Amino acid sequence: MGCCSARCGLIAGAVVGALLAILGGVLIPVGDLIIRGTVEKEAVLTNGSTAFENFVSTGATVYRQFWIFNVTNPTEVVDHGDVPKVEQKGPYTYKTRYLPKANVTFTDNYTLYYDMPLGAIFEPSMSVGPEEDKFMTINLVVAVASSILDPQSLQFLINVRKLKLFHPRTVKSLLWGENKDVGLFSPYNGTTDGRYHIHTGEDDINKVGLIERWNGNEALDFWGDKYCNQINGTDAASFPPFIDKNKPLYFFSSDICRSVSAAYQQDMELMGIPVYRFTLLPNTLAAPVDNPDNQCYCTDALVTKNCTIAGALDVGTCKGVKGVYISLPHFLHGSDVLRENVLGLNAIEEEHMTYLDVEPTTGFTLGFAKRIQVNMMYGPKNVTLLEKVKDYTIFPVVWLNETASVDEATAEMFKRELLSRIDMLEIIQYTLLGVGLGIFVLCLLGVCMVRRSNSVKLS
């Protein structure tokens, strides 16, 4: 009787264990559906969702750090045609994107539009010096005028205004403009980055955040080509959830007047949150001979030597100012000739690359560093200032690092409200599965042992 009771108990235990294991196994796909449903609910841009609350607010503090290039041999360049030598100094740091998105309005077709206000506040404690620091830099008026005027008109302008190729500018004047001097980024304070129309994701979560129109247009009109004028992806603040590391992320940047893609580089951890780091591909600004997709971005075959020079993007049409070129800092991934024409540059991948740290489940960008360099072009021309210049020079003026990272309070909220729930559900799933299998195996072994014991007694 005792053996029968023990065997029945073990069989019952095995059944219970099997049921627990089955329940745990069933909960895995069910749990995945629950997780997906929860994430989709919170990632969609609707009133009350986590994504929308973060979208409207200023979010993490964003800083723009600037490094200015100072010319150390201006006289030799003009009088003898020497190669310009530069040295960088920085950072000069400004707090930016401290204003929430403005005019956020939902439409009837699962989209919303908003304006991105721009502003910059100097942060002395994060800078190497005051805004009044002076640098010898290229004369923006000469650079622009040499790109649009014939020699006679240019010479007249030089004579009347007593212009020099290089002249001293303060940090504040060079960046934002001061008095009658035009700055690289002026006007800035009080302006916007344009009006964005984006998908809310209500009808299709895979479209959440994707830009439908910018400044009212579904495509750009800077490049004279349908492919290059495409507006692809999001604004990089977030991406559709459930990131696949094997697929690139696409985003549009008004700073460089085009869409680009970033590829997975490595797994990282940010404030205790696992993220995927995506970086710009080295061929983003490659010459068309290496990346045929870039053919339509080459708008000046003379300066780029029949489009064979990599690493500099002519954004003159986009910015409304001729002679402006965008590159990665220190011409990272650019042709050697760019660094040979200006001495003192040293491209370092870790310091000068652009990256995004994206939480893979939600698609939220929790940290980023956007690094770009602003350059002005000047070249040989039959005028006094440029008669000794031997070749077209894409001259580095300043490079910037716009960076932000999730703060501790936001990270804790993110982990508490979303990741902890996902982790708890996974723990329950696999605990039930593991405990159930363990009980089932142990009870099954017990039944076998009881049977063997009974067989020995009978023999």
Block means of pLDDT (10 residues each) for the chain, 459 residues, are 53 48 48 67 87 79 96 96 97 91 92 94 97 97 93 95 96 93 90 94 94 95 94 94 95 94 95 93 93 93 91 91 94 96 96 96 92 95 91 96 87 71 56 50 54 56
Residue 362 burial by Cβ neighbours in a 10 Å radius (0-12, 13-18, 19+): buried
If phi > 0 it is left, if psi is from -120 to 50 it is alpha, else beta; for residue 179 that is: left
65-101 in b/e form (b: 16+ CB < 10 A) is bbbbbbbebbeebbeeeeebbbebebbbbbebbeeeb
Tokens 């029968």 appear where?
4
C-alpha dihedral sign at 122, 128, 130, 136: negative
> Residues 301, 302, 306, 310: what is their CA dihedral angle, to the nearest 10 degrees?
-80
- Does residue 370 contact residue 399 with C-beta atoms inside 8 Å? no
243-to-53, 249, 358, 378, 413 alpha-carbon distances in Å = 21, 9, 8, 44, 21
Vertex 402 angle, CA 399 and 405, to 5°: 150
The one-letter amino acid at 168: P
- Does residue 433 contact residue 26 with C-beta atoms inside 8 Å? no
Tokens 């067989």 appear where?
455
Residue 320 burial by Cβ neighbours in a 10 Å radius (0-12, 13-18, 19+): exposed
Could you give the 3-state DSSP secondary structure of residue 118? coil
Give the pLDDT of residue 60: 78
CA distance 410 to 367: 12
CA distance 82 to 72: 11
The one-letter amino acid at 106: F
**Among 371, 256, 377, 372, which Cα is nearest to 305's?**
377
Give the pLDDT of residue 445: 58
**Among 232, 40, 38, 194, which Cα is nearest to 103's?**
194
Look up residue 181 and give its two tokens: 């001097």
The one-letter amino acid at 16: V
CA distance 264 to 140: 38
The H-or-E segment that residue 426 falls in is helix 420-458
Vertex 283 angle, CA 359 and 251, to 5°: 40
Give the pLDDT of residue 5: 59
Look up residue 246 and give its two tokens: 């094997």
For the whole model, what pTM was predicted? 0.85
> Residues 198, 204, 206, 209: what is their CA dihedral angle, to the nearest 10 degrees?
20
- Does residue 285 contact residue 293 with C-beta atoms inside 8 Å? no
Q: What is the CA radius of gyration of the chain?
A: 30
- Does residue 313 contact residue 325 with C-beta atoms inside 8 Å? yes
Give the pLDDT of residue 420: 58
Give the pLDDT of residue 440: 47
103-to-100, 106, 113, 239 alpha-carbon distances in Å = 10, 10, 7, 22
Tokens 């329940």 appear where?
23
The ranges assigned to domains in the chain are 2-39+417-458, 61-406
**Among 168, 96, 171, which Cα is nearest to 129's?**
171
Paired with 113 in beta bridges are 105, 197
Question: What are all long-range contacts of 289-298, with beta carbons under 8 Å and residues at least 24 apart?
Answer: 293/227, 296/223, 296/224, 296/225, 296/227, 296/228, 297/223, 297/228, 297/258
